[in-house]
Amino acid sequence: MNNFWDKSIVKRLFLLLLAWYAIVVIVVTVVGSGFQIIQTRQAIITSVQDLGISFTPGLSNAVWTFDSDFINSNLKGIVLSPNIAAARIEDKTGKVIHSLQVEENSGIGLLLPHLDEIGFDLWTKSRKDNRIELGRLFITPSKKAQIEKLRQGLLIILIYTIFTLLILGGGFLFLGRRLLTWPLTQLARAIESIDPGRDRVVIGLNPENMKGEIKTLLDMVNNLLLRSTKFRQALDALNKDLENQVNLRTAELSESNRALKKEITNHKHAQEEIETLRGIIPICSHCKNIRDDTNSWHKLETYISNHSEAQFSHGMCPKCSDELYGKEDWYIEMKKEEEESKE
């Protein structure tokens, strides 16, 4: 969470807003500068016109009476105005009578529009009230004054822009972090603290801090978690059922396998028994011994016991008993008892 601010949407929105605001400020500054130039120009022209109208009567009398001192003093009074760069007087033929210049406009404010000099008629009346043209007074506005007024206007615009940026930027950052970054941080921490092993996983946050899109996002995350829990429970049930089916089927297959193995074993034993006693067995006609594949001779009992599951118990038949023990007294007596018991 330490680097959450580095990836915060509030930061990206702030930078985007800052870039947009910079563009707007540049456009507004350019437009405002244009209006400022126009207003400054108009103010200077108005100031020059007012100044010319106030000095024209006195200069007309001075030109009519050829009072050079008065003319010079009036021209000095004109150029003392901060909005004036130069002033001159021409006669009717265009010849310069007097001129006074306090600054050079050439090379100053090349990007600013040129301020043309403004002319005023110098005239007087004859005894018959006829207008007599004496010449013209030309006053040149000062570009320095225009630049200074423009600089003051731009400074005001710059101060206003910086102040507005600080207020709006600070407010945006505060509200953005309060209404967006902080709730998203809480939501991210809550998601990280989720225990997938619980039966129910729902993010519980203070609803007063979750409003609008953040509340919608929280509801969507909770719904997703609940659906995930249900899917997990259903998957666990399916896995358990599948495990039971696998165990049951495994037991059935194991039982079938054991029965099949037993059947195969029995079949193999029967097959071996059949194969062992099948065919012609060479047997001695006198002693009844049997010859095997290695030409070895074995007693009948031994051969059959080795090649089958049969076992022998020894006894004696009546014929052999008579041949062996017929002359013995105890045998004769036993035979008599057996015959008497039969009767």
Q: What is the pLDDT of residue 138?
A: 92
pLDDT band with cut points at 50, 70 and 90 for residue 5: very low
**CA dist 25 → 152, 153, 175 (Å):** 17, 15, 22
**CA dist 209 → 28, 175, 185, 212, 216 (Å):** 38, 12, 12, 10, 12
- The 10 Å Cβ neighbour count of residue 122 is 25
Q: Could you report the per-residue pLDDT of 217-228, keeping only the tens digit for each?
A: 767 777 777 777
Judged against a pLDDT cut of 60, whether residue 91 lies above it is answered with yes
SS3 100: strand
- The answer to whether residues 111 and 150 touch, using CB atoms and an 8 Å cutoff, is no
pLDDT band with cut points at 50, 70 and 90 for residue 103: low
69: left (phi over 0), alpha (psi -120 to 50) or beta: alpha
Instruction: Retrieve residue 173's tokens.
Output: 């950052």
Q: Could you report the per-residue pLDDT of 286-339, keeping only the tens digit for each?
A: 888 888 878 888 887 787 777 766 777 777 788 888 888 778 888 788 888 878
Q: Could you report the per-residue pLDDT of 154-189, keeping only the tens digit for each?
A: 788 788 888 887 887 788 777 777 776 777 777 777
Determine how β-strand 297-298 pairs with β-strand 290-291.
antiparallel
- The 10 Å Cβ neighbour count of residue 31 is 10
Percent of the chain with pLDDT over 70: 79
